[in-house]
């Protein structure tokens, strides 16, 4: 009011430095008070949402545990995840969430539209299992952001040795990598977000992907357009991690999973009688020399601060106790976080293998198979996730100095396309015997991690859609 009086004074009596000074002072004070009140309102709004997320996660926890156990009993391999996909799609539809099948019915995509200022859109949408012909909300309401949450859904060819009553009912197949937990976390996040959709504006895509264990599901899913219509602006995923106690999470900036590349070395020598080795060019001896020499690459050719692994995991040669074979075949894997380093390793593998073979009178042919790039966590998205997670769990429970994993993940293909992050969801609990590593026939995890995973997913979605990330 005083600033208005000063302004009238200036207009009526002419310019006056004192009046101008006072007017500017009160304008600044007004702006400061306005921003303070806005900040307080945002804080209260955020606190309200956080409380609702926690309450909803607790309310649906028992249901999510039941979902996880049902999925655990009936695991499916690779791209034969049709029953799993049916279960997921029906679950989403029963919550009123749009869902459609991809990858010939082996995968599922769900879509939640935030209705904050989009009530008209909410009223006009009918949920159901639909074809892939959804209309982006940006077509009706201008550009809004879209975030994708991804869960892998396939199991492993492992015969389960656990004895609980919901152990796998499928002989030789088990959710030994925790993908049943991932599904439960994502379905939980979906239910939370669907209940809170009036708190955010934007789209949430729920990607349930088969074929992760073969590291080939993600590119196939992407090729079917799951990152389009509406276009995805960011993506996030998680993996249960038995090295981290339940209640904690781990996340890193930059590389979090290594490249996945294989090599095949075929050594061609000259076979003959085992009693007359001087008449042969023994590919087994040559292969052994190659294996030993390959192990010097990382220790002598790679900077000690650059993580790299070269492992020969298969050596096949010969069929008889007294016949030196003509050929030997070595197979192995290369893991690193740096594409240029991977190329350097490949060059050295070729030079060493072919050089040793040639020096011993044989030939070596080297083939490389490229499966997946490294998973690189986007710095801005990762920072936002850490800040978001710290609103629900203690900062002490967010481990940011964890070492990246040298295993591989085809989430890398999503991270190549859109800014993404991937975190490790702690699931270890000695009291519940949840101590076995991934891919172990006795693997189990503390089911409390489902509540945490679902909550963190939901919280991050709302925070991402509220901020001005570009």
176, 161 Cβ separation under 8 angstroms: no
Residue showing tokens 């599904």:
183
- 20 token code pair: 């101008």
Residue showing tokens 């390793």:
345
> For residues 186 and 64, what is the distance between their CA atoms, to the nearest angstrom?
10
Residue of 154, 191, 213, 447 with catalytic role: 154
> For residues 470 and 467, what is the distance between their CA atoms, to the nearest angstrom?
9
The pairing of strands 375-377 and 254-257 is antiparallel
Q: 234-251 as b/e, with b when 16 or more CB fall inside 10 Å?
A: bbbbbbbbbebbbbbbbb
- 462 token code pair: 């709302």
Residue whose C-alpha is closest to residue 49's, from 233, 234, 195: 195
Contacts of 314 (CB under 8 A, 6+ apart): 329, 330, 331, 332
Residue of 152, 212, 409, 410 with catalytic role: 212
**Cβ neighbours, 10 Å, residue 343:** 12
Walk across the sheet containing 98-102 and list its strands.
98-102, 107-115, 201-209, 146-152, 234-245, 420-428, 249-250, 398-399
The pairing of strands 201-209 and 249-250 is unpaired
What phi and psi values does residue 45 have, to the nearest 5 degrees?
-60, -45
State CA 362 to chain mean position distance.
Answer: 44
Whether residue 282 lies in the annotated active site: no
> For residues 107 and 246, what is the distance between their CA atoms, to the nearest angstrom?
29
82, 464 Cβ separation under 8 angstroms: no
Whether residue 62 lies in the annotated active site: no
243, 392 Cβ separation under 8 angstroms: no
Packing angle of the helix pair 179-195, 17-59 (nearest 10 deg): 130
> For residues 73 and 37, what is the distance between their CA atoms, to the nearest angstrom?
53
The pairing of strands 260-268 and 327-336 is antiparallel
* C-alpha distance across the termini of the chain, in Å: 39
Residue whose C-alpha is closest to residue 467's, from 392, 406, 387, 399: 387
Active site residues: 154, 212
């Amino acid at each position: 009011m005083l600033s208005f009086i000063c302004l009238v004074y200036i207009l009526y009596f002419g310019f006056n430095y004192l009046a101008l000074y006072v007017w500017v002072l009160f304008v600044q004070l007004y702006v400061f008070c306005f921003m303070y009140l806005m900040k307080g309102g945002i804080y209260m709004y955020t606190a309200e949402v956080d409380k609702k997320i926690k309450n909803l996660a607790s309310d649906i926890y028992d249901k999510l545990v039941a979902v996880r156990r049902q999925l655990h009993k009936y695991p499916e391999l690779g791209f034969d995840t049709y029953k799993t996909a049916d279960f997921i799609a029906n679950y989403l539809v029963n919550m009123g969430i749009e869902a459609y099948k991809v990858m010939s019915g082996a995968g599922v995509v769900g879509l939640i539209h935030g209705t904050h200022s989009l009530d008209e859109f909410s009223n006009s949408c009918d949920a159901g299992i639909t074809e892939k012909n959804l209309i982006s909300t940006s077509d009706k309401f201008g550009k809004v952001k879209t975030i994708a949450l991804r869960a892998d859904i396939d199991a492993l060819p492992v015969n389960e040795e656990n004895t609980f009553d919901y152990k796998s009912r499928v002989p030789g197949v088990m959710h030994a990598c925790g993908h049943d937990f991932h599904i439960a976390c994502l379905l939980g996040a979906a239910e939370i977000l669907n209940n809170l959709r009036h708190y955010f504006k934007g789209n949430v895509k729920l990607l349930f992907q088969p074929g992760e264990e073969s590291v080939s599901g993600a590119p196939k899913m992407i090729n079917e357009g799951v990152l389009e219509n509406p276009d995805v602006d960011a993506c996030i995923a998680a993996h249960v991690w038995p090295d981290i106690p339940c209640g904690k999470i781990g996340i890193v900036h930059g590389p979090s999973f290594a490249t996945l590349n294989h090599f095949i070395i075929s050594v061609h020598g000259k076979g003959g009688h085992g009693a007359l080795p001087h008449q042969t060019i023994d590919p087994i001896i040559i292969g052994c020399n190659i294996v030993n020499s390959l192990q010097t690459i990382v220790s002598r050719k790679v900077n000690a601060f650059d993580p790299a692994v070269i492992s020969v995991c298969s050596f096949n040669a010969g069929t008889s106790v007294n016949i030196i074979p003509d050929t030997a075949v070595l197979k192995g894997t290369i893991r690193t976080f740096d594409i240029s380093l991977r190329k350097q390793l490949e060059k050295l593998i070729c030079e060493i293998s072919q050089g040793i073979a040639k020096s011993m009178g044989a030939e070596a042919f080297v083939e490389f198979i490229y499966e997946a790039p490294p998973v690189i966590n986007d710095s801005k998205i990762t920072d936002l996730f850490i800040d978001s997670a710290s609103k629900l769990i203690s900062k002490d429970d967010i481990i940011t100095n964890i070492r990246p994993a040298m295993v591989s993940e085809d989430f890398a293909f999503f991270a190549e396309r859109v800014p993404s992050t991937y975190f490790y969801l702690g699931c270890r609990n000695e009291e519940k015997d949840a101590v076995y590593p991934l891919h172990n026939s006795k693997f189990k995890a503390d089911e409390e991690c489902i509540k945490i995973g679902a909550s963190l997913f939901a919280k991050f979605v709302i925070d991402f859609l509220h901020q001005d990330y570009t």
